[in-house]
Amino acid sequence: MTAVYVALGAPFVALVISSPQNLRRLDQIRRTNAKLADPRRLSSEAQAHLAELSTAMQSETDGDFRLRIAQDMMQTKKDLQQHTLELGLQIAQLNGDATRAADYEKALDQLLHPEKYMPATLDPQIARDRARQMGLDN
């Protein structure tokens, strides 16, 4: 669906993914969203319920809210990195490029299991020995 037109009249295209159940009740969802966009159109009972929800949301401290957003952003970034690496791995495997596939597998393992790649101690000699064991001492 074309959401808007941007610079030089180019369309900004959006993709909407939903469950079959939600697609069947799309008109109802649109009507609900229209009501929420202008709370004056809601019944007094619905307005009171929204006010309660708003008060409950405001009771959460600003710091907690920012922390939750930061955690969500970090998870989203990790998910995107994982998806990109998995896609690269699949392409390398389809192309029969074993070296590149091995690189992607190692990068995926580092992303999913970072504890395996972190030094157990700050002692430089132990860290060098561990790096050598893992083949990272090049």
CA pair distance 32, 45, nearest whole angstrom: 15
Q: How many domains does the chain have?
A: 2
pLDDT in tens, 5-57: 666 677 766 666 777 887 888 888 777 777 777 767 777 887 777 777 666 55
Strand ranges (E), the chain: 2-5, 11-13
pLDDT in tens, 88-134: 899 999 999 999 999 999 999 988 888 777 755 567 777 778 777 77
HSE, CB side, 13 Å, CA atoms: give it for residue 106. 10
Using DSSP, state whether 86 is helix, strand or coil: helix
Q: Are 29 and 39 in contact (CB under 8 A)?
A: no
Q: pTM of the full predicted structure?
A: 0.40
Q: Are residues 22 and 85 in the same domain?
A: no
Q: Are residues 96 and 131 in the same domain?
A: yes
Q: Are residues 28 and 71 in the same domain?
A: no
- Alpha-carbon dihedral sign for residues 74, 79, 82, 87: negative
Q: Are residues 44 and 90 in the same domain?
A: no
Q: Last residue of some domain: 43, 59, 75?
A: 59
Q: Which domain holds residue 108?
A: 65-138
Q: Are residues 49 and 78 in the same domain?
A: no
